[in-house]
Each structure stands twice: as C-alpha cells, then as structure tokens.
Structure 1
C-alpha cells in the first residue's frame, strides 16, 4: 500500500514514526529516508540507538525553506531518490518511509514523473509512506491511503520557537 501524510498541520512525520514503531514491533524491517532535512532530529537518536529494525538516512543538507535550493540540495535529493530506487529493488525492507518527499517535489529537486515511475514498479510486499506538505494531485491519486493534517491553531503563530523533542 502507498500512504501519504500531507497538509499544513503538524504531525505528518510523527504519524509516520508511529507507524514505523508499530511495524518494528511486528518484526518488520523499515527504511526511513528523510529528504530535504540535513540535521538528525531527536527521533533519529532513539531509532539509531534502540530500534535496529529501522535503518535511517538523510537526503538533505541544511534547511533551505527560507532560501532557494542550491545545486548541492538538488544533488543530495537526486542521490537520495536513486538510493530509494535501489532499496526498493533489493527487497530488503517491508516498509519504506520517504519523509518530506512531497517538499522535495514541491521544490522540484527531482521530477514527479520519476517518482510516479518508481511507484509503478513498487513490489506488493512494500508498505510505502510518503510525507510532506503539498502532495501533488497525481501522487494523491496513486495512493491507497491519504491523510491530510489540517492546521487549526499552532503556537508558532504566537512566537513559540521549535522545541527539541517536540518539533525536532
């Protein structure tokens, strides 16, 4: 199945992490690839130290959300997508989480056509989870499950900065 967690509300990566923990508890092998992000967030500390069923890799450099992507950002994302394609073919994983893939698509770090072609060749035994705002309609159409996180209120609007262990 293909899952998409999208929308402007908080909780997309968090939902994917919960699903990964559930799958790990069931003895499944998981790959957690994070696009755009170049910093290991707090969840990575516990995953790398305590949950051996989850393999993690960053496919970003530094946050460019407030600037234009640089050539190195494109290279990192494209190398990440190439790696994901190889891992899909390997059959090594029961679940693959592609965190912020939608953001990488939004910034055109690689093409939607390339992602859709990858999904055409997705083996039936892989549960694929894609997160990030701005999921394109073509990807939503391809998915088996789509959840939209809708922001109603966020303390960020009141000047609260991102907090370790909550937002990162």
Structure 2
C-alpha cells in the first residue's frame, strides 16, 4: 500500500551510499593523479640530468656522463664519484616536486631518500618492483617511496615510483 513519503526513506538510505561512492571515486582519481605528478617530476629530473655529458668524451666521439664510474642505488649524501650528476638530478627533482600536491612530508625528506643509479657508459638499472631498464648509452635511474595523502584524507599511502632515462644515440653524418 502506497503512502506519501515512502520514496523519501529510500532516498535517505541511498544518499549516504552515493556520497561515499562519489568520495571514493574522487579519492582514487586524485591518488592516481598525485602519483603521476611525482612520476613526471622524477622522470624530468632523470631526463635533464642524463644530459650532463662528459664533453671531453664527446669530443673523442664517445658518449658518457660526467661520472667516472658506475654508482648503484646511492642517495645524494653518498653519491661519491657520481656527485655532479646526482646533484643536477636532485636540483631538478626538488624544483619539480615543489608543485606536486598530496605530499605528506617535506620535499627535502623525499629528495634525500631517492636512490640514484648512474651508468655513465650504459648498463642496467633494477627497481624495487622487479622491473629493469637497460641501455647501451649513458643511463640515469631513480627510485623513491614518498609518503602521500589523498584529497579526502582517508589515510596515507606510499607508492614505489621509479624513472630511468638514457641519452639518444648520436649518429655521425
């Protein structure tokens, strides 16, 4: 038997479910966007720093980074022989991260934890995810796990983010 106001009960029951669903969709979309922004920042840092050529090697018709030896999974503080290349990458990363939203910690803390792998004469990088990247030309890889928060505030998350870039092959004419 129909009575006035019966549909209001159904709306009152469904409205909270719909609100939670909309918030969930917004949160998932925002988290994906935030991760993409950090991936872009890391990718741009590696792409810019890998351009730090050893010009003496270039004059001898070779390609090499300004690093005398390979450095594997080093931070900025422990870069050693690769300090020049890692400092350039770190500078670009900090600049790029300054516009990323959703970071739950300061940019300096994230940048300090980045693990850089420098292969001045080519080689391979292995990432935490099990993926590898290899190249015969100079290669710079980076990996970090930042602490992030979504837009709705449903807790923090820490995705593994990695990037790797190499120089394009220089061909003589």
TM range (shorter): under 0.3
Name the TM-score, length of structure 2 as normaliser. Answer: 0.24
Report which structure shows greater RCO (CA 8 Å, sep ≥6).
Answer: 1
Name the TM-score, length of structure 1 as normaliser. Answer: 0.24
